[in-house]
Structure 1
């Protein structure tokens, strides 16, 4: 007969000495497995006499329970020790400051402006800039505005108080004055330093910037952003203008389904002049470009008036060109579904979080615009 006391001491000693879960499992199988020492003793109960079974049965079952309890206790201790070791090795110092959270969004106007510049950059246009505070000559006279034109009045233009010489400056009402400055430099055979990669003439530039008009409603704001385009070369005609604007519109709205039409119009600085409309659907409280039967005016342009070319010191018999201008904010609102232009200047953080763009997704011809 097996000495149960000795077997218990041997098994509990080996259980206590188990260094890891694998060693403990080996002891369990040896004692309580199908062919384990305690399991064999339990199988032998059937061959004993009733008196032996009554005496040995409780002892063998008690040994099984003690060994199982010792194994469970040792397993819990090993698991706890393993967890402590992992916590120590994977410790995180919560006293350190967290990584900086990226805050801020790119304003939709700036995103739209970057997209427009990227499109015209693909076409080979250089970038030009000019002052926001202009004089009457560059803003009106050189652009063929007659002296009594309504645009010169206070209800359209923000005039500044006269300076010490009596000259009155104004906040530019369009970006077209930069065209004058570019062409004036062009007559000297070079462009100013702030025009990238330029030569003159021929001239091919775009002029983005802020402009100011005394107007405010859902589709007009006192300050807004405009992008002007100017091409001066020999043998330029309206077909070049139409192709340029059609190509821009399809690329900007990122669909070939855009349908455009050109209507006669009047601007003092272009002749002939036109406005361009895009086909759209106005149903459902939103404007969908490239579908429907409605039309929406998005920009104006035309052939540069000979008087404007002449005012800049160039010969209109030798040089011709076209010009166009479009509202950046309005095009952005059309593309991204912003119903009211005034919200773009309301400084509402909630609005910017909704419509703003990530600064890590700068538009470019390689990765797309939006």
Structure 2
């Protein structure tokens, strides 16, 4: 629209109506959102005929501006309302078309995708922790890169103890930092004693690191679950009952025994053995029925345990005249092997999902 010839002439209503009709025709003709976007730019944007006509209102005589503003405002409203209605209509049409194109015939046969499996070690750690959580214990975790004091000194390891040698322990450079990859999860127990109020009942599962060979029965990285109870009146009897409860939860109806041993952090100390779950002791002294699992000894070593050494409690600031405790630990990898007759520890770290699937629900 070129506008009035002089400021005293009003806007041409017929010409404004012609602009509106042209816009409405273009809107009605749009068949998709892209076309409607182009129509909006041509008939409702800043350079559209109606927008240019609106700019000319300021040049009109004052007595004509009100009527002209009303005329242009009504015209632009009609166009905008038509654009909004058309946009909603096209959006619904396009959505329906998209849903139709993406529809799935659920009656067609499908190819199932293979699913993963929880690693047997993870599953067993969760089960073992559940046993203790049900008894009111807590699960505690700590760093795998550990201070030498927490891993050895606080646990009553002497400076010359063989476990400190580099042939057994993975120290981290520089040696002056006295940092190592933890050889046991016992440092978590010491951290708990240093940070928690007594009494303490915790289990600490996790990875441990040793300078071991990589073969069917040894791994340089394996898993332990250790337990610690510190309270008033704790005895060896409480330890035996706790371990019996765990053994039954893991293996069913099975017997355990405590065999005297030595550990720096417990006194007295013992190894806990499981009655062979293959021969149940029948192979002992019976050459006609040998047992490869227990080597005809009737028992299988499971882990270590004992009453917490008073020196360990004193290192954590615990009054040994009031409190006592017990501790135990066993290899989770070894427990999985016992429960599932897994012959080779290397299968645990190869990452083959078929191995994990084969052990799902494989508890004895």
Q: TM-score under structure 1 normalisation?
A: 0.63
Matched, 1:315 2:327: no
> Does the CA-based 8 Å contact 1:119-1:252 persist in structure 2?
no
Does residue 122 (structure 1) correspond to residue 126 (structure 2)? The answer is no
Match of 1:203 in 2: 200
Task: Look up the SS of the partner of 2:171 in the other structure.
Answer: coil
SS in 1 for 2:177: coil
Structure 2 match to 1:226: 224
Give the whole-Å Cα distance in 2 for the aligned partners of 1:265 and 1:157.
Answer: 22
Distance 1:135 1:120 in 2: 27
1:95 shift after superposition: 11
2:159 is paired with a residue whose SS is coil
Does the CA-based 8 Å contact 1:215-1:221 persist in structure 2? Answer: yes
| Residue 352 of structure 1: how far off its partner (Å) | 2.9
Relative to structure 1, is the Cα distance of residues 251 and 106 closer, same or farther in structure 2, using a 3 angstrom cutoff? same
Match of 1:250 among 248, 267, 272: 248
Q: Secondary structure at the match of 2:189?
A: helix
Q: Distance in 1 between matches of 2:169 and 2:186?
A: 15
Look up the SS of the partner of 2:122 in the other structure: helix
TM-superposed deviation, 1:278 = 0.9
Residue aligning to 2:271: 275
Q: Does 1:215 align with 2:212?
A: yes
**Which runs of 5 or more structure 2 residues have no equivalent in the other structure?**
1-102, 280-288
Normalised TM-score (structure 2): 0.64
Matched, 1:355 2:333: no
CA contact (8 A) 1:201 1:233 kept: yes
CA positional deviation for 1:284 = 7.9
Partner of 1:101: 113
Corresponding residue to 1:177 among 187, 190, 196: 187
Q: Cα offset for 1:242?
A: 0.4
Matched position secondary structure for 2:127? helix
- Counterpart pick for 2:337 among 309, 333, 338: 333
User: Is the partner of 1:178 in helix, strand or coil?
Assistant: helix
3-state SS, counterpart of residue 352 of structure 1? helix
> What's 1:264 paired with?
260
C-alpha distance in structure 2 between counterparts of 1:251 and 1:352, whole Å: 21
In structure 2, C-alpha distance between the alignment counterparts of 1:111 and 1:226, rounded to whole Å: 14
Q: CA deviation at 1:140?
A: 0.2
Question: Of 299, 304, 312, which aligns to 1:300?
Answer: 304
Equivalent in the alignment of 1:168? 178
The number of residues matched between the two structures is 250
RMSD: 2.6
CA contact (8 A) 2:170 2:211 kept: yes
- For residues 210 and 98 of structure 1, the distance between their equivalents in structure 2, rounded to whole angstroms, comes to 41
Q: Indicate conservation of the 8 Å contact 2:117/2:353, yes or no.
A: no
Answer 1 or 2: higher relative contact order, Cα 8 Å, separation at least 6. Answer: 1
Taking structure 1 as reference, are residues 201 and 92 closer, same or farther at Cα in structure 2, changes over 3 Å only? closer
Would the aligned equivalents of 1:309 and 1:315 in 2 still touch at CA under 8 Å? Answer: yes
1:99 to partner: Cα distance: 8.1
2:235 is aligned to 237
Give 1:347 shift.
2.0
Separation in 2, partners of 1:176, 1:113: 16
Give the drift of 1:259.
Answer: 1.4
Aligned pairs for 1:58-97 within 5 A? 93=105
Equivalent positions of 1:29-40 (< 5 A) are none
List alignment gaps of at least 5 residues for structure 1.
Answer: 1-90, 186-190, 192-199, 359-368
- Residue 129 of structure 1 deviates from its aligned partner by 0.5
Q: 1:328: how far off?
A: 0.6
